[in-house]
Structure 1
Amino acid sequence: MKKFDKDRLILAFAGPVLALVVALALTTVVLLASGRNPFEPYRIMFESASYVDVQVLIVNQAGTYYLAALAVAVGFRMNLFNIGVDGQYRLAAMMAALVGASVNLPGPLHIALIVIVAMLVGAFWSGIAGFLKTTRGVSEVVSTIMLNSIATALVAWMILPKNFGEQPAGSNNLTTGEIPESGWFPGLPMGDQAGEIYGFTFVAAGCGLLYWFVLNRTRFGFDLRATGASESAAQASGVDAKKMILTSMLISGAVAGLAGMPTLLGDTHTYSLDFPTGIGFTGITIALLGRNNPLGIAFSALLIAFLDKSSASLDQYGFEKEIATIMQGLIVISVVVSYELVRRYGIRRQQQKVGEELAAGHAIKTEKEAAL
C-alpha cells in the first residue's frame, strides 16, 4: 500500500513538473530561433524578483489569480468548464464598486456589503449558465462564453457618465466613483518603498482552506466529486445531479466575484476602464497546472504572477516582455500533453502492478499445491 501511495505522489508531481520543463525548453527554442540569448531573460526576471517591491506585486497578483483559479476549479471538480469567470469577475467588481461608492457605513459593514454584492452578482451571472444547462441542456462552455460578451457590453454601457459612471476632470478614463475609506480593506505594510500586501490576499488563502475542507471533509463535497466523476452513478446513489450542477455553478460564480476584491478594496477603490481584464482566462491555466488542488493552485498562481511581474523589466534590456506571455501559452499546451502522458503511464503502471500481484499469488498457490 505504501508503495502505491508513493507512486501516486510521484505521478501527481510528474504532470506539472513535466509541463514546466517542456514550456521552459520550448521558450528557449523560441529565443534561439529569434537569435536571442536564451538564458539572459531568465536571469533578468529572477534578478527583478529579488526586489521587495516586485515580490509584493507578485504576492498581490497571485491572490487575485488564486481566487479566479478556485472559481474554475470548483467547476472542474464537477466536470463543468466555467469559462465565464472573467465576465463574472468584471461584472461583480463593477457592481460592488457602484454600491460601495454610493453608501457610507462603518468599516466592517461597508466592506462586508461590497463583498456580498460581488459574490451575489458573480453567482447570479454564472447561475444563468447553470440554469440553462439543467433545464435546457445548454453546454456551459457555450453559454458562459456568450455571457462573457454580454457582461463586457453591459459593463461598457453602465460605466458611461449618462448612466452610472463618472469621468474625472481632465481625464479620458471612466470610473464608478471612489469608495469611501471605510470600505477599504487594510493591508500588510512592507515598507515605504515596497507598498503593502493586500489584506484580501489573506482572505484568498482562507478561501483555499475552505475549498479543501468542503471538498474533502463534507458530504456536499463528496456528492460534488461523485457527480463530477459520473452523473448517472451519482443519481443512482440518490444524489440530485441537476441540483449539484446548479449549486456548483452558483458557488463557482460567487468565488469568481471575489477575484476582483483584492484590487478593488486594496488598491484602486473604484472600477474604471483600466481595471484588470483576462483574469478569468488566466485562472483556467492556473487551475489546470495546479490540478484543482488548493496547494497546487497556490504554487501555480505564484508562478504565473512571477512571470507577469518580473517580465516588466525585460524591455529595458532589449527583450520583449511578451516572452512571459509566450511561456504562459506554452505552459497551457504542455499541461494538456504532459497530464495525458502521465495518465497513460499511470494506467500502464497500475496494470503492471496488478499483473505482478496476480503472478505472485499464482506462484504462492502453486507452491502450496506442490507441498500438499
Structure 2
Amino acid sequence: MTRLSPRRLLLGVAAPALALVVAFVVTSAILLALGDPVGEVWSTILSSPRPRQFVQIINAATVYYLSAVAVAVGFRMNLFNIGVDGQYRVAAFAGALFAGQAWFPGPVNILLTIVVAMAAGGLWASIAAYLKVKRGISEVISTIMLNAIATGVVQWLLLKVAVKQQGSNTISTEPIPASNELEGLGLIPGATNKVYTLIVLAIIVGLAYWFVINKTRFGYDLRATGRSESAAVASGVKVPRMVVTTMVTSGALAGLIGMPLLFGQDHSYGTTFQSGLGFAGIGIALLGRNHPIGIGVAALLWSFLDVQSNALQIRAGVASEVVFIIQGVILFAVVIAYELIRRVEVRLEQQRVARELAASRSDTPAVEGAPA
C-alpha cells in the first residue's frame, strides 16, 4: 500500500471528521438539556465571517500554529512538553524587555529579539530536560510545575521593570520603538485590520518542521525514538541527548509564539498579554496529528470557533463559553476516533497481507515428491 493511497488518505480524514460530528451531536444535546436555542447557536457559529473577522481568524491561527508546532516536536518523540505555556511567557517577556531597549536599528532589533526569545524559551525548557535525563523526573510533571513557576517569575520581574501607563491600571515593559512595529499585510479585501506580518514566520517554521522531521537524520532519530526507544538505542541513537535536544528545540519554538503579538499588536509585554496559548497548542497538535498541514487546518478551525463565539451572547443569548465545550468535546472525540481508525487500518493491513500470502502460496508450484 503506497503512502498516498486513497484508502490511507480516507482513513486520515475520517478521524477528525468523526470527531467534528461527535462534537456537534454532544454539544447540541447539552444545549437542548439547558434549554438553549440549538439552531441559533449553530447558525451563529457557522455563519460566514466578515472581512475583519477573517483577519482575526488568520491572526489567531498564526499564533496557535506556532504553539502547536512547538508541542508537536516533542509529541513526535513521545515527549510531552506540557510547559509550552510557561516557556512562551518567559520568552515573550525576555523578548519584549530586549526589544524595548532599542539598542539596535529596526530590522536588526526585530531579528535579535526573535533570537533572544528563542534562547529564553529553550533555556527554560532545558530545566525539564535536565530533570528528566539526570533525575528521571517525568517531563509531564516538571513542565506543569514549571508553568506555574514561570508565571510567578515573570510577574515578579515585570513589577521590577514595568512602565506604568498613564490613566490605566495596566503595567507593561517598555514599548518597542515605532520602527519595530510591523503594520501588517493587507491580504483580505475590505478589512480594516491587517494580517500579522510575522505570518511569514509561521510559514517558515512549518516548512522547516516538515523538512527536519522527514528529511534529516535528526528527524529520523526523533521519530525512531518515539516509535521504539529500545530499537532506537540498538540503531545507535543516544536517547538522553535526543531528549535534551528535542525539549530545548520545543522550548525555542515556544519562544516564537509571542512574536506576532509583540510586533504586530501589543508592542510590549504586560498584564494584558494573551495567555493560555501553550495549552491551546496541545489540543491543536493532537487534532492536526502533529502534521504541519493538519496543524494548520486545526489552528484555523480553533481560531474560527474563537472568533465566531464572540457573537453568541448578542445573537443567540448564549454565553460564548459554549465554544469551550465544543473544543473540549472535539479533543476528547478525536483521541477516541484516532484509536478507532488506527485499529481499522491495522485490521485492513493484516487482511491485505493475508491475501497476498495466500495468493503467493497458490502461485507456487508443488514440489514433486513432497508430502501433501
TM-score tier after normalising by the smaller chain length: over 0.9
Instruction: State the superposition RMSD in angstroms.
Output: 1.9
| Residue number in structure 1 paired with 2:314 | 316
* Structure 2: runs of 5+ lacking an equivalent: none
| Residue number in structure 2 paired with 1:85 | 84
Q: For 1:295 and 1:367, how far apart are their aligned partners in 2? A: 51
- The 5-angstrom pairing of residues 120-159 of structure 1 reads 120-159=119-158
How big is each residue's C-alpha offset from its partner over 1:238-257, in whole Å with a ceiling of 9 and x where there is no partner? 11111111000011001101
Q: For 2:168 and 2:132, how far apart are their aligned partners in 1? A: 43
The amino acid across from 2:208 in the alignment is: L
The amino acid across from 1:136 in the alignment is: R
The amino acid across from 2:22 in the alignment is: V
Q: For 1:106 and 1:244, how far apart are their aligned partners in 2? A: 37
Q: Secondary structure of the residue that 1:319 maps to in structure 2?
A: coil
* Structure 1: runs of 5+ lacking an equivalent: none
How big is each residue's C-alpha offset from its partner over 1:268-294, in whole Å with a ceiling of 9 and x where there is no partner? 001111111110010000000000000
Return the match for 2:226 from 220, 225, 228.
228
The amino acid across from 1:73 in the alignment is: A
Q: For 1:356 and 1:11, how far apart are their aligned partners in 2? A: 20
- The 5-angstrom pairing of residues 101-112 of structure 1 reads 101-112=100-111
Q: For 2:244 and 2:4, how far apart are their aligned partners in 1? A: 36
The structural deviation recorded for 1:348 is 1.5
Kept after mapping to 2: 8 A contact 1:111/1:182: no
Q: For 1:364 and 1:278, how far apart are their aligned partners in 2? A: 61
Q: For 2:218 and 2:3, how far apart are their aligned partners in 1? A: 31
The amino acid across from 2:289 in the alignment is: R
The amino acid across from 1:151 in the alignment is: A
The amino acid across from 1:228 in the alignment is: G
Say whether 1:184 aligns with 2:173.
no
The structural deviation recorded for 1:106 is 1.5
The structural deviation recorded for 1:306 is 0.2
- The 5-angstrom pairing of residues 1-372 of structure 1 reads 1-2=1-2, 5-47=5-47, 49-160=48-159, 163-189=160-186, 190=188, 193-317=191-315, 318-365=317-364
The structural deviation recorded for 1:186 is 4.1
Q: For 2:193 and 2:367, how far apart are their aligned partners in 1? A: 74
Q: For 2:35 and 2:366, how far apart are their aligned partners in 1? A: 67
* Matched-pair identity in %: 49
The structural deviation recorded for 1:108 is 1.1
Q: For 1:220 and 1:308, how far apart are their aligned partners in 2? A: 36
Change over 3 Å in CA distance of 1:170–1:139 after alignment to 2: same
Kept after mapping to 1: 8 A contact 2:86/2:146: yes
- Structure 1 range deviating more: 38-47 or 9-18: 38-47
Q: TM-score, normalised by structure 1?
A: 0.94
The structural deviation recorded for 1:366 is 6.8
The structural deviation recorded for 1:38 is 1.8
Q: For 1:258 and 1:194, how far apart are their aligned partners in 2? A: 26
Kept after mapping to 2: 8 A contact 1:56/1:194: no
Q: TM-score, normalised by structure 2?
A: 0.94
Q: For 1:102 and 1:312, how far apart are their aligned partners in 2? A: 36
Q: Secondary structure of the residue that 1:159 maps to in structure 2?
A: helix
How big is each residue's C-alpha offset from its partner over 1:338-357, in whole Å with a ceiling of 9 and x where there is no partner? 11111111121122222222
Q: For 2:289 and 2:171, how far apart are their aligned partners in 1? A: 38
Kept after mapping to 2: 8 A contact 1:66/1:298: yes
The structural deviation recorded for 1:43 is 1.4
Kept after mapping to 1: 8 A contact 2:92/2:269: yes
Kept after mapping to 2: 8 A contact 1:119/1:256: yes
- Structure 1 range deviating more: 298-307 or 317-326: 317-326
Structure 1 stretches of at least 4 aligned residues deviating more than 4 Å after TM superposition = 190-193, 366-369
Q: For 1:3 and 1:323, how far apart are their aligned partners in 2? A: 38
Q: For 2:108 and 2:190, how far apart are their aligned partners in 1? A: 29
